[in-house]
Amino acid sequence: MATGTDSHTHPDALKSTIRGSGLKVTAPRVAVLEVLQHAPHSSAEQVFAEVRKTLSGTSAQAVYGILASFTGAGLVRRFDPPNSPALFECRVGDNHHHLSCVGCGLVQDVDCVIGEAPCLTPSDDSGFTIYSAEVTFNGLCRTCQATGSPATG
Amino acid sequence: MATGTDSHTHPDALKSTIRGSGLKVTAPRVAVLEVLQHAPHSSAEQVFAEVRKTLSGTSAQAVYGILASFTGAGLVRRFDPPNSPALFECRVGDNHHHLSCVGCGLVQDVDCVIGEAPCLTPSDDSGFTIYSAEVTFNGLCRTCQATGSPATG
DNA sequence: CAGTTGTTTTGACTTAATCAAAACAACCCG
DNA sequence: CGGGTTGTTTTGATTAAGTCAAAACAACTG
């Protein structure tokens, strides 16, 4: 970490973000946010494994709990692809969508086709109050198309 | 092509549909399709429970296998809402979307906002070959809004 | 610095789904 | 209409993903 190639938020800013959502600032919480910045689209297990590298005493349940409270607070977004555990990312509020590879499970961000509102507004909301919209494109990534077999990643 | 939109398809038509997809026609398969027509957005467990009412010898694994092969054949659509097991429905190919209640888990169909193509075309496919698109609106259903607590449905 | 409140750990548990191999049934062909 | 092939289903064990409850603990307030 000596070389300053960080396009990422500093720990202090992360703390403010957490506090700003009305949550107490703890080491595991900062670690979870850091992990999600470096590795978006991570599963709870993957986040757990990463967090343990720096905070070896952290439990899996803590990570599940942190991800749940962050999701509730709007700090992270949860995403449930088919045939995969839930994934988490900290890009929120920008109405972006996901490309999911059915071959290897790779998930990639895509910006919204339409722009803003239309993608968040169903034709008939049937009395629902909409909080968020999730758009997922299922397909085959470049590597899986080329090799005919799942890429490892 | 299966229409999938009529509320009551006769068993013989179901059989043709199954056969038309290159799959062998068996009693559990017909039963699974019937259940999905009467109760869309059912989980594998729910389908299993329903199928057992008429075919008591059917195993859970059969149902999982049938749902997987039907999904692969394009006969049914699989849908993974947050905090819920995977759901299945037999409305396919009409680019419709889903309203999912975060309170009680209720899932409801909505027709596409845009119409046709735009919802199926990401702005930049990053080399992916897109097979299908899934649009999910997360919110609170009428009942959950009214009562402030999850409706049992 | 002590108290309150919310967080994390620990450990057992539930649900959802998958795997492998043997028993079985549907469909094709003569 | 009956045998053979192929695909399906059953059986039983196993894994993965996530949840629950209560005690130990740590962050923030005053």
Per-residue pLDDT in tens (0 to 9) along chain A, 153 residues: 343 334 567 778 899 999 999 999 999 999 999 999 999 999 999 999 999 999 999 999 999 999 999 999 999 999 999 899 999 999 887 778 899 998 889 999 988 766 555 566 777 888 999 888 888 999 999 988 887 655 444
The separation between CA A136 and the C-alpha centre of its own chain, rounded to angstroms, equals 14
Closest alpha carbon to C1' of C18, residue:
B61
Tell me the pLDDT of chain B (153 aa) as tens digits. Answer: 444 444 467 778 899 999 999 999 999 999 999 999 999 999 999 999 999 999 999 999 999 999 999 999 999 999 999 999 999 999 887 778 899 998 889 999 988 766 555 566 777 888 999 888 888 998 999 988 887 655 444
Q: B151: exposed, middle or buried (C-beta count within 10 Å: 0-12, 13-18, 19+)? A: middle
pLDDT at A115: 55
Q: B4: exposed, middle or buried (C-beta count within 10 Å: 0-12, 13-18, 19+)? A: buried
Q: Does B54 touch chain A (CB under 8 A)?
A: no
Q: Considering only CB atoms, which chain A residues are within 8 Å of B77?
A: none
Under a CB-based contact definition with an 8 Å cutoff, are residues A67 and A43 in contact? no
pLDDT tens digits, one per residue of B29-41? 999 999 999 999 9
Token pair recorded at residue B101: 């209640």
A83 CB contacts (<8 Å, ≥6 apart)?
A102, A105
Q: Does B76 touch chain A (CB under 8 A)?
A: no
User: With a 7 Å cutoff on the CB, does B83 touch strand D?
Assistant: yes
Mean pLDDT of chain A: 86
Domains in chain B, start-ordered, CATH in brackets?
11-79 (1.10.10.10), 94-147 (3.30.1490.190)
Q: Do B145 and A124 touch (CB under 8 A)?
A: no
Under a CB-based contact definition with an 8 Å cutoff, are residues A79 and A88 in contact? yes
Q: Do A122 and B108 touch (CB under 8 A)?
A: no
pLDDT tens digits, one per residue of B97-127? 899 998 889 999 988 766 555 566 777 888 9
